[in-house]
Amino acid sequence: MGIARLGVAMRVWPSRIELAVVGVSLSTAMLIACSDAPVLPSAAFHTAREHSAPADREWRTYLGDPSVSHSSPLDEIHRGNVGQLEVAWTYDARDVGPRSTMQCNPIVVRGVLYATSADTRVFALNAATGEELWSFRSAEPNRSQNRGVSYWSAGDDERILFTQSDKLYALDARTGIPIASFGSGGSVDLRSGLGKRAKEGARLVVTTPGSVFEDLLILGSSTSEGRAAALGDVRAYDIRTGEVRWTFHTIPVNGTPGSETWPENARQNFGAANSWAGVSVDVERAIAFIPTGSAAFDLYGGDRPGDNLFANSLIAVDARTGERIWHYQIVRHDLWDRDLPSPPNLVTVKRDGKTIPGVAQTTKSGQVFLFHRETGEPLSEITESEVVGAAVSGERAARSQPVSLAIPPFARQVFNEEAVTRRTPEAHRAVLDELRRMRSGALYMPPSLEGTVLQPGLDGGAQWGGSAFDTETGFLYVNANEVPSIIQLANVKDLGSVSGKSSAQRRYLAACSHCHGADGRGDGGAVLSLIGVTDRLGFLEAYRVVRDGRGRMPAFGEWLGWYEIAVLTAYANQAAEDVVTPETHSPPDGREGGYVNVGFRNFVDPDGFPASRPPWGTLTAIDLNREIIVWRLPLGDLPWSLELGLHGLGARNYGGPVITEGGLLFIAATPDSKFRAFDKMNGELLWESELPAAGFATPSTYEAGGRQFIVVAAGGGKLRQPSGSQYVAYALPAASAR
């Protein structure tokens, strides 16, 4: 096979022939990797390396460093000159599609920026210019979001590790060629070892990059939240070979600590309790901090009585062995989808004149839990909050839940009549009427048949973008959503059927309603409405999405036949026309008893605005030493608010902040497509720029070629915003940079 057909470019050097990967697929790259001829870095790659800076002045790890600080010591861009920032370079990551988004936090290592496209094409750029150096696309279909990659090196061996759907890949960091000795020809099947449901095709993807410790990659996963979810075990992979070195069982094995909080044989009958948000690592102490999510099914747990350790827990383990050191369960027997949404920040705090190593976990409930890093002792008071109201029949809710209120919450804790929108008299009246038909008014109130209002909503509070920590001041910076959600169950024993549509309804309820709701309307944000989906995409493309999966959508083709997929696609398109009530449902797949989710949506007024008073999204600075809020402000605006001349109301937001030694906090995250810089001490807005699409990702800042850059992925695709494919890097004008 000739070089041109291999998809590589040849460069002749005085003593060697050099091959630079140009958009190769996995199968093609493996042919190159297994050939006798060495594949060497390109001249352009060497040029990029000449622009490198010391490690602490780059961005070598997802979210900044193993402690997840979101911070940088760079100060070339500061309060006095941030207004001069201009676009230094842009890169079109391509792969834009209907409702695609980019959530990647790029890393920068030795002058080279590594990132991913919406379709998880991995690429390397000259960090100073944005020039593409190599590109890799797996032959496997992509079924998940990707938030970044990991870098590891030992001598001349440099690797980029990344996940796509249910595979873990290792690439040569210099060329983009898969490492043939890693796993099976460069990749590892992440389903292996996760039980029967994973083998049978239960949803299992990895969205967040693994955490590197020595020669290990510590990795969690994202699973279904339905009854057939795969196990959520956290594993450490040998970076050289791809072998599993240790496993932490988030649903305990019979007879091991925590198993007493589950029914017998829990690992055979239940799933999830997974760590999808990422892992923080104290490198010096060799401790990994694992945040976990809820057990499945996540809105009803009558069949999983007990506290359900280690779901909804912060777990400290020996990073070399996976042995548990301590844990704290933040939500017992979760019924509210209160996953721990981001890797915790490793912080230092002052107590009684002493500096103490701490770990701070923000939550969807809008609270900060703070623990001693080594012992797990709470460093801020934790009390108990009663679970209010009766649960549905068969449910055994915990009597109370831990709450951390000594550090003031960064989001409102309850939704009641006083919190109802007053945007217009009509909106106020409509929301109030709906509210009075449901349950509300407590932080922890079980899901119900009539509907329960959850505040903060299903997206938080805090979310996957994470928080930033400033070691100098002890300030924690967190952006939050402030929109209530409605959670609602229906008892399948009471469900009837609609003539001619019962089979399609049963399949829809079993496969789709858990996310999209029984009416197909989704939640208005991350979970899209299915109404008219075949009109938007065309039936064939909608069929392919159901069959192959996309983003958070699992691939139903792994367990449904083509005819069943076609019927499901057709029914999902018009589910809202058959408004699903307890009188019009059929039991899903013949299952007796139990409940299905029929609500799972944001609470909005008739015009699509949040049902609550603004702000609808916030940015907050919290002093962990004094346990006070230093400043808090509305973050961004909804585009449809701006169309009505309404400003400063805040908006739902995705993607976290970055802080610098120059006194700045950078954040995009909002649907108004703005990228902003605030004074990190007082919250004053100092600069903003219009992005080509909304930047639903955490930015990165780094030095290359003697200049400081700040880069963000502008991928749009959420909160009704069009998709984009641009990475945009800003810097001071070359003449004014130091």
E-state strands within 563-663: 595-597, 601-602, 617-623, 628-634, 658-660
Contact 438, 478 (CB under 8 A): no
* Domains parsed from the chain with CATH numbers: 3-49 (no CATH), 489-599 (1.10.760.10)
Dihedral sign computed on CA atoms, order 63, 329, 294, 238: positive
CA distances, 202 to each of 185, 209, 225, 298, 646 (Å): 24, 21, 10, 16, 44
Q: Are strands 723-731 and 707-716 parallel, antiparallel or unpaired?
A: antiparallel
CA distance 224 to 552: 9
Using H for helix, E for strand and C for coil, what is the string for 640-708?
Answer: HHHCCCCCCCCCCCCCCCEEECCCEEEECCCCCCEEEEEECCCCCEEEEEECCCCCCCCCEEEEECCEE
pLDDT given at position 579: 38
> Which amino acid is located at 601 in the chain?
R
Contact 341, 362 (CB under 8 A): yes
CA distance 695 to 101: 9
CA distances, 40 to each of 108, 134, 303, 721 (Å): 20, 12, 56, 41
Average pLDDT for consecutive 10-residue bins of the chain (738 residues)? 33 31 48 59 97 97 98 98 98 91 98 97 98 95 90 98 96 98 97 90 93 98 89 98 98 98 96 98 98 94 97 98 98 98 98 96 98 98 97 95 98 97 97 97 96 96 97 97 94 52 59 65 62 69 72 60 68 54 32 65 93 98 98 97 96 98 98 98 98 98 98 96 98 79
C-alpha triplet 562, 224, 597: angle, nearest 5°: 90
pLDDT given at position 5: 27
pLDDT given at position 596: 79
pLDDT given at position 629: 98
Region for residue 337 given its phi and psi (left: phi exceeds 0; alpha: psi -120 to 50; beta: otherwise):
left
Beta bridge partners of 67: none
DSSP letter string, 414-462: ---GGGB--SSHHHHHHHHHHHTTSB-SSSS---BSS-EEESSBTTBSS
pLDDT given at position 141: 82
| Tokens, residue 711 | 């880069």
CA distance 177 to 133: 12
CA distance 711 to 208: 19
